Amino acid sequence: MIILTGGLGFIGSNILQGLNEIGYDNIIICDWHKKIGGKNVANQKFIKIINPDSLFNFLKSNKNIEYIIHMGAISSTTENNFKLIYNNNTVFSRNIWNWCTLNNVKLIYASSAATYGDGSNGFNDLATKAYKPLNYYGWSKYFFDKYATKQSQNKKNPPQWVGLKFFNVYGPNEYHKGKMQSVVKHSVDQIKEHGYVNLFKSYNSKYKNGGQIRDFIYVNDCISVIQWFIKNPQFSGIFNCGTGEGRTFEDLVKAVFQTIKKSPKINYIEMPDNIKNQYQYYTKAENIKLKNIGYKKEFTSLEDGISDYLKKYLLKNNIYR
């Protein structure tokens, strides 16, 4: 049996599909069903859904658990309630870690590229530098990464534990995320409504408008990485989950226009004051650590990922996996 927290959400529901693909259907989803709904998993196989506040009671009465795949979190980078985000993202994760350690259950969890802060210290998952995240979300993930690392050094860890620092993930089933949807999804919506796409102006002289850089990773690649770790339980640690290539927002929008066979039309707008001071101008995963343990699959290019996402989902009536 696998427990999948956040299984109704964007990355979680895609992971559910990936688990089904490799033969797992004895899966318990742990998520807030009444808040999110079940559209993301309507076509997938699983046993049932439980609420997060009943997770540990469920764990007490179920001993045949192979993995907890922990994707559940408050993922908003603009959430300002530190206590709320710390309890949900850090304390809850620590409790899951401790349960997995005591019960010899493997753990895969979601970290984030937001832990790297402004990128001035790089994006190397081999580094031991002290990073300074730019928002509470990033700090909450950073605190848990530090806890996992320390516990592992003291040999107080699950039999396999993997933290994945997800970079800018896009793909199907992100539709409930509102403002936190990917720029790909927002671009398609804006083109349908206005015929053009709005991007934020740059306030950093190193980057032109639209030249801000991200490591955009298609969610299918995230699934592939998790499937690989399940098939290779001898490997543990914290790993970047990005393509290893930095692309501009302008590149992304042009790829969207190219897929729908229209000429690019881009407007540059002012960035809201509440994110100006916590804005990452550059992210790019270093994947040496993942490659060194034997992960060989090539990551999807931005153009190919956008083409697949639009043609299979966003441009069709049935947009769910």
Burial class of residue 316 in the structure, from the number of CB atoms within 10 Å of its CB (0-12 exposed, 13-18 middle, 19+ buried): exposed
315 phi/psi in degrees, rounded to 5: -95, 5
* Catalytic residue check, 231: no
* End-to-end Cα separation, the chain, in angstroms: 22
Q: Identify the active-site residue in 132, 177, 289, 312.
A: 177
- In sign, the C-alpha dihedral spanning 96, 97, 102, 108 is positive
Q: How far apart are CA 35 and CA 33, in angstroms?
A: 5
What is the distance between the alpha carbons of residues 75 and 31, in angstroms, rounded to a whole number? 14
Strand (E) or helix (H) holding 290: helix 288-292
Q: Is 216 helix (H, G, I), strand (E, B) or coil?
A: strand
**∠ at Cα 60 (56, 62), nearest 5°?**
110
Among 116, 137, 309, 313, which one carries the catalytic annotation? 137
- Of 77, 20, 111, 90, nearest to 276 (Cα)? 77
Query: How is the chain split among helix, strand and coil, in percent rounded to 5?
Result: 40, 15, 40
Q: How far is CA 23 from CA 1, 227, 282, in A?
A: 11, 11, 38
Active site residue 147: no
Residue identified by tokens 């990128």 is 119
C-alpha 11/C-alpha 9 separation (Å) is 6
Distances, alpha carbon 95 to alpha carbons 15, 20, 89, 147, 214, in Å: 22, 27, 10, 11, 32
CA-nearest of 274, 281, 251 to 117 is 281
Closest CA to 109 of 65, 141, 62: 141
Enzyme catalytic residues = 137, 177
